Amino acid sequence: MKPKKVTKAVFPVAGLGTRFLPATKSIPKEIMTLVDRPLIQYAIDEARAAGIKEFIFVTSRGKSALEDYFDNAPELESELRRKGKTEMLEVLKDTNMDSGAIAYVRQNRPMGLGHAVWCARRLIGDEPFAVLLPDDVIAAEKPCLQQMVEAYAQTGGCMVAAMEVPPARASSYGVLDIKNDLGAIVEVKGMVEKPKAEEAPSNLAVIGRYILTPQVLNNLNRMKQGAGGEIQLTDAIAEEVGGKAGVYGYRFRGQRYDCGSKAGFLQATVAFGLSRPDLCEEFGAYLNDMIVQRQAAQ
């Protein structure tokens, strides 16, 4: 049977963003800008390209700026229209969400990613759904989630985005235990959350893109604590291994940037800045000058 289309996506954005203090004292981390768009906009654009129609945000206190970002701004639009700035009006269109397309639920306690997804259970219902972590920004010719949706149409079940990492970094990720390697798609026989380097079953790490069955929500109902004493989404997915639908990893085509870290955010800023036709010449020349100056200083 052909799997149901994925039309709902969950965006867990309840975190405090403490690694980016003091900036995140007053603004949500997801609103921090990568070149000239906030992180959350990259995730929304990726979801739209994959056919997502309903967007569910799991938030917490202090996230009102995130909600305001996706609302219409009549005064700003009127001023841009008056000044004939049609290009800027077109840019703003991507930031507006249709009435009813976006919903917000609160996670009132930081109990882990699994708990954040569980908070959206009533809005998800009995349908497959995607989860996107805005901290993971992926530069790809075809957006990552769109690649996954196309692969999911062949496999069904649960699917996680996966990338190869050095063994020393395995303890920072959920890692796949592979049953059958089919190339881009791998069949999974187990998942281990943040294993020690010597205990990692492979070098394929799970990153922040998922397509999940509603059964995962039932697994989360048990509120089973995992690594770090938190309710881990990886553990709930792992319970589906060996089931009728199965669990799959997908080696996406693209470059992932960890914008949850300062170094990753800076790397993404350079990469995305250089990819922009309106910025690459001036920005590239500046970076080259910086490298020459640094080499001369040494």
Q: Is the residue at 1 inside a domain?
A: no
Write down the pLDDT at residue 163: 94
Write down the pLDDT at residue 231: 79
Strands (E), 155-291: 158-164, 174-181, 185-193, 204-212, 247-251, 255-258
Instruction: Looking at the structure, tell me whether residues 169 and 211 fall in a common domain.
Output: yes
Q: Is the residue at 17 inside a domain?
A: yes
Instruction: Looking at the structure, tell me whether residues 74 and 154 fall in a common domain.
Output: yes
Average pLDDT rounded to a whole number, residues 37-44: 94
Residues 221/236, Cβ–Cβ less than 8 Å: no
Provide CB contacts within 8 A for 202, sequence distance 6+: 175, 176, 177, 178
Instruction: Looking at the structure, tell me whether residues 58 and 33 fall in a common domain.
Output: yes
Q: Is the residue at 3 inside a domain?
A: no
Q: Is the residue at 2 inside a domain?
A: no
Instruction: Looking at the structure, tell me whether residues 167 and 193 fall in a common domain.
Output: yes
User: What mean pLDDT, rounded, does the chain reach?
Assistant: 90
Write down the pLDDT at residue 90: 83
CB atoms within 10 A of CB 108: 9
Instruction: Looking at the structure, tell me whether residues 266 and 253 fall in a common domain.
Output: no
Instruction: Looking at the structure, tell me whether residues 188 and 290 fall in a common domain.
Output: no
Q: Is the residue at 232 inside a domain?
A: yes
Instruction: Looking at the structure, tell me whether residues 276 and 185 fall in a common domain.
Output: no
Question: What percentage of the chain has pLDDT greater than the value 90?
Answer: 56
Count of domains observed in the chain: 2
pLDDT tens per residue, range 12-22: 998 888 899 89
Write down the pLDDT at residue 222: 79
Is the pLDDT at 267 greater than 90? The verdict is yes
- Domain that residue 232 falls in: 8-260
Q: Is the residue at 71 inside a domain?
A: yes
Q: How many CA atoms lie within 13 A of 283 on its CB side?
A: 13
Q: How confident is the model at residue 7 (pLDDT cuts 50, 70, 90)?
A: very high
State the burial class of residue 125 (Cβ atoms within 10 Å of its Cβ: 0-12, 13-18, 19+).
exposed
Instruction: Looking at the structure, tell me whether residues 182 and 114 fall in a common domain.
Output: yes
Average pLDDT rounded to a whole number, residues 238-264: 92
Average pLDDT rounded to a whole number, residues 52-68: 88
Instruction: Looking at the structure, tell me whether residues 228 and 145 fall in a common domain.
Output: yes
Residues 42/137, Cβ–Cβ less than 8 Å: yes
96 vs 122, residue with greater confidence: 122
Question: What percentage of the chain has pLDDT greater than the value 70?
Answer: 98
Q: How confident is the model at residue 87 (pLDDT cuts 50, 70, 90)?
A: confident
Instruction: Looking at the structure, tell me whether residues 38 and 81 fall in a common domain.
Output: yes
Instruction: Looking at the structure, tell me whether residues 83 and 120 fall in a common domain.
Output: yes
Instruction: Looking at the structure, tell me whether residues 21 and 119 fall in a common domain.
Output: yes
User: Which of the residue ranges 81-85, 99-103, 257-261, 277-281 would you say has the lowest mean pLDDT?
Assistant: 99-103
Q: How confident is the model at residue 279 (pLDDT cuts 50, 70, 90)?
A: very high
Write down the pLDDT at residue 25: 87
Domain CATH code at residue 235: 3.90.550.10
Write down the pLDDT at residue 228: 62
Is the pLDDT at 248 greater than 70? The verdict is yes
